[in-house]
Copies of this chain bind each other. A is one copy, B any other.
Amino acid sequence: MYKEKIPKTTIYRLAIYLRTLEKIFREHRTFISSQEMGTLCGIDSAQVRKDLSYFGQFGEVGRGYSVKNLMDNLKKILKLYRRRWKVALAGVGHLGTALLSYRGFREAGFEISCAFDPDPKKIGKAIQNAKIYPPYKIEEIVSKEKIKIGIIAVPGDFAQDVAERMVSAGVRALLNFAPVKLNLPSGITVKNVDLSTELISLPFYLK
């Protein structure tokens, strides 16, 4: 409904705010100002207030935001409240294996429940809770498990095909680590992860 009007960058920043609030919460803090949120997140405090204003009035005059309250609200907005999302992973190479072992996903409310790789030595094994299947099983397993979120960690040449097959089986949002632009039907959300961008911004600070 209102979703079309909210910038994607706002949603991404809500995720940053949530991660920061979780940290603050573990340190037993109860209130935080938009200024401090901004500083901790590296985001202008006016931007913090604008992003949150799309979803309601969360601050209390003179006290700022209740950490617990804002955290719960952000979880509700981001659909992470009292639920766990199943995720399908394509590609169990080094990156895929690293992602399967990454505890942060589980802590954030996600579980990679199945993985796909053509390597016969990997098929049938399980890493964490994810059983590894051959790629021709993508449609069957993804639709049977009603999975809506996929991670693409295959080489660039295979990414488009694998993504299309996930989408045909019901996946509606993809995290794409392959260095290619995916062409998918409208209504499918794709988030490209480009690790180079992170590295590129470092030399600026060097003498």
Chain A contacts to B: CB under 8 angstroms: 3, 7-9, 11-12, 14-16, 18-19, 42-44, 77-80, 85, 87, 93-95, 97-99, 101-105, 107-110, 148-149, 151, 172-175, 179, 189, 191, 193-207
Contact = CB atoms under 8 A, between A and B. Distances in A.
A195 B104 contact: yes
Given A94-B94, A196-B108, A203 B9 contact: no
B98 A94 contact: yes
A18 B205 contact: no
Oligomeric state, in copies:
2
B94 A179 contact: no
A12 to B, nearest CB: 5
Contacts of A172: 205-207
Contact of A206 (B14, B79, B110, B194): B79
A78 to B, nearest CB: 5
The 9 closest A-B pairs by CB, nearest first: A95-B98, A94-B98, A15-B200, A79-B203, A173-B202, A189-B205, A104-B196, A108-B196, A94-B97
